[in-house]
Structure 1
Amino acid sequence: MKATALVAWNLRRLRVKCAISQEALAVDAGVDRSYVGRIERGVENPTVETLDRLAGALDVAVSEMLTVPKQGEKPPSTLRKGRKKK
């Protein structure tokens, strides 16, 4: 798996696990929301500094962004669309 695909996989996995939207993650990490989306699609190649900021916003080690998925592991799901119920 290419590094950009690995980062894309793990960023979405961690974000969904934390139940945080792309927009909220972007605000917490100080990056643009569309940039987070492009990283998750594997279109962007983020800098180490950006990965560090995203990892900090997700409260994980930056090494989590490069974790290789287990054989046969399903791709990360997406969050439910629309506003969350309170």
Structure 2
Amino acid sequence: MSNNKIADNLKKLRAKKGLSLEKIARLADLSLNTIVKVENGVNTNPTIETLTKIAKALEVGVDHLIK
């Protein structure tokens, strides 16, 4: 699974929904630092729990983040 793909998808979905990094962090109950690292491709191995929380915050399935 390409983390750059996850980062790209997160950026696109977040922009489409008009949500800030801070808002996604709050909705996902994750730290802003975690969201920034995933979106910038720094976190090379986000956990399924992290991906699930982000997907839920974006109101999409995890598959939308990883495909």
Aligned with 1:31: secondary structure?
coil
**Other-structure match for 1:76:** none
Deviations 1:44-64 (A, max 9, x none): 021011100100010001100
Q: Distance in 1 between matches of 2:59 and 2:37?
A: 21
Paired residue type of 1:17: K
- 2:48 is the alignment partner of 1:48: yes
Identity %: 36
Deviating 4+ runs (over 6 angstroms):
none
Gaps of 5+ in 1: 68-86
| Larger Rg computed on CA atoms | 1
Matched residues, number: 66
Kindly report the root-mean-square deviation, in angstroms, between the aligned alpha carbons of the 2 structures.
1.0
Gaps of 5+ in 2: none
TM-score (norm 1): 0.73
TM-score (norm 2): 0.92
Give the superposition deviation at 1:38.
1.1
